[in-house]
Amino acid sequence: MNINLPKCIRSNNIEPFGVIDACRLYEVTQTITEQLKEHFGDYLPELQVRVAEVNATVVLRHKDNVQPMLNMITGMLLQDKSNVAHLTVRGKQIGERYKKVETLTSGMNVESLKLPQNSTGRFAQKIYNKGLQEGIQDKKGIIRVEHIYNRSGLDFAKAGKYLNDFLTVESIQSLLQCFKCDFKKYFCDRFWNNTGSTPYYKQCIQMILSDLKTYKPLTTALMNRTIIEQDFSFFIKACKLHYDNPESARKAIYRVRKSEELEIHENVADDFVMLCKGIIYG
């Protein structure tokens, strides 16, 4: 027999679970225990916890940065050629050039991404636009990060094997700490900091900087639109490194910004760092 406790009290998890939900879950477990006693008497089987989800929901400072951040995260994850990411995406049409055609898109916007079981074999990961799911994306920029731990992951986290042991403060705290450590090690350090290699954001800047040596600013921007639309700050920093004259850098940045050929988002990388710190140290 398999029991999904959250679905016993909720049809979805759009709203975060709170204290009232915890009370209801306790009532459900008590009811289940009583019913099992009626059937099994003194030979009551213990309920084993096989899968558990841990998530963190973060409200961004800039609500419009959710979309480019998910695009940036996708770019980060795909640095590892062996990674398989399951994406939910929509096409977008940005720029005067694309207004001349009817249906051709200039790129895509990622709404959610899911990674299958990671290299440890302990958990799968999902990251998505929570505000879009709730229908409040115009009011708040919300991103949710989920880890779905299997039994191996729960054992590693030293979470209780049986329901009574699992639903203790010590067990839950241990699982939360494991979630934070896994998020830092297998996501932030691996894909953003690129431990042992060049951090993702520096690679983006280096790519743009390299092309600026050969091509004009707007041509460079169009060639690198995928990463520049993740965060226009990448282009700004590359220009400031490329031009000795600050005024030349300013003009190049201005021309690209006003070209209307790219989607402009700024401070995405900064917001991402704040998101990571909020999850790890929150």
- Per-residue model confidence as pLDDT tens digits over 229-251: 999 999 999 999 999 999 999 99
Q: Encoding tokens for residue 130? A: 């929570």
* Residue 2's pLDDT band (cuts 50, 70, 90): low
pLDDT band at 136 (very low <50, low <70, confident <90, very high): confident
Q: pLDDT tens digits for 142-162?
A: 999 999 999 999 999 999 998
Kindly report each contact of residues 175-180 with a partner whose C-beta sits within 8 Å and lies 24 or more positions away, as own/partner. Answer: 175/52, 175/54, 175/149, 176/54, 178/149, 178/153, 179/54, 179/56, 179/147, 180/279, 180/280
User: pLDDT grade, residue 166 (50/70/90)?
Assistant: confident
The least confident of 161-165, 189-193, 230-234 is 161-165
- State how far the Cα of 185 lies from the Cα of 156, in Å rounded to an integer: 15
Cite the DSSP H helix spans in 5-150: 5-9, 19-40, 66-77, 130-134
CA distance 257 to 25: 52
Q: With CA atoms as reference, report the closest residue to 268 among 49, 64, 39.
A: 64
Average pLDDT over residues 39-45: 65
| Mean pLDDT, all residues of the chain | 88
21 pLDDT higher than 80: no
